[in-house]
Amino acid sequence: MLIIVDEDAFLSMVKLVGGEDAARAVKLLMKKPSLSDDELSQKLNMDVKELRKILHRLNDLGLIAYDVYREKDSGHRVFKWRVQQDQVIGFAKTQMRRVYERLKARLEHEQTHQIYWCGTEGCRKYTFEEAMDILFKCPKCGKTLLIVDNSKVIEALQRKIMELEKNLQ
């Protein structure tokens, strides 16, 4: 399956990992590439130190990059930031692999453990061993813990895992 990431999807991804301010900064960089952090902070009306933290986090994730220049007058280093749109698909695949691994671990847990629950919203679920330790009584509400049919959860996890496997190939 071909993964296509348009501008809106890219900004949504940036917002998800970096927040609203990160999305605003990247949106500006998409319109006007190669801005310094000082220029960005002025245009976004943000504290330059906070902006730099956001930019470096996005750089660590490979979503944006920078080039370093020296000012002729003072010799100070200036970072010029740009969007790494060609890296977005790699970033998306990395995130998909993380989700895939978590889902596989969850599936294994669901398949290898019997789950018990009292049925009361807000009370936690217990493995067989945990339920046995508390004599199959919910410590929060006092109701009896009963086995939970998790076959639908297992089926849903298997479907999602198969979908991700197709996308990751």
Query: What are 27-65's pLDDT values in tens digits?
Result: 999 888 889 989 999 999 999 999 999 999 999 988 899
- pLDDT exceeds 80 at position 9: no
Give the sign of the dihedral formed by CA 103, CA 108, CA 113, CA 114.
positive
> How many angstroms separate the CA atoms of 110 and 154, rounded?
7
The CATH code of the domain at 7-83 is 1.10.10.10
Q: What is the residue extent of each domain of the chain?
A: 7-83, 99-168
Question: Which pLDDT score, from 0 to 100, does residue 73 have?
Answer: 87
Residue 2: pLDDT band with limits 50, 70, 90: very low
pLDDT number for residue 167:
77
- In this predicted structure, the answer to whether residue 4 has a pLDDT above a threshold of 90 is no
pLDDT at residue 5 in the model: 56
Name the pTM for this structure: 0.57
As a whole number, mean pLDDT of residues 108-117 equals 94
Share of the chain above pLDDT 70, in %: 95
What is the pLDDT at residue 1? 42
Q: How far apart are CA 125 and CA 111, in angstroms?
A: 15
Worst-scoring range by mean pLDDT, 12-21, 97-106, 129-138, 148-157? Answer: 12-21
